[in-house]
Copies of this chain bind each other. A is one copy, B any other.
């Protein structure tokens, strides 16, 4: 079984394979056309601050669904899916430090856990590709390069930190079309927040991203920067909560919602 053989399977079929331990690898390319989501689980005592942080920073932190306190069951994004088992790999963080990677989190579950599902740029990348716009890290089969910027998020309670951006190189003409295409997806990061000179947003060296892999920028191309879903995770780690659980990078929650459902036009 490989990515290709699962590209056309429904999200509920793929989640069943994940739940049963048959699929334990990254989710890129699975259930093609369906939105995937980032996961952050926090105890209730800091959930208000996190919800407020996301409200104040909607471009990097687009909340798709927040589960009821103590409930592991998804409703809007995939009715009845179990957030404790339906993701291939999880990370447990204690006091902001990675403590272990696990396949299920039933053993770690607390009655005061609140689960946040956050939008992911996978959703608009499909639209970029359909518009013949380059998505370099897909061409290069690596991770998207991500950078900390000098743009501060609006803080909320215990949460603060810089906006993290992802970068995709393209020509100016392509960048103009990319602004149009991604503006249609305000709930999955929306339009870029910068293009051109990286120093202007505090990025000193594109060849050394803070997260992910570097990608080549070809002659005639400029870097184009989008607010990135790593921003809320970085803010959570900064705040060093007693416990926090996230998906492992690339091992996302596959929803029943089509990517196109997040397009407002």
Contact = CB atoms under 8 A, between A and B. Distances in A.
Interface string A157-199: 0000000000000000000000000010011001100000000
Number of this chain's copies in the assembly equals 2
A154 interface: yes
A63 B51 CA distance: 12
Contacts of A191: 264
A10 to B, nearest CB: 24
A47 interface: yes
A76 interface: yes
A222 interface: no
Given A56-B66, A66-B56, A154-B76, A183 B265 contact: yes
Interface string A36-59: 000000000001100110111000
- Report the interface size class on chain A: 20 to 34
Contacts of A186: 186-187, 264
Nearest to A190: B264
B51 A52 contact: yes
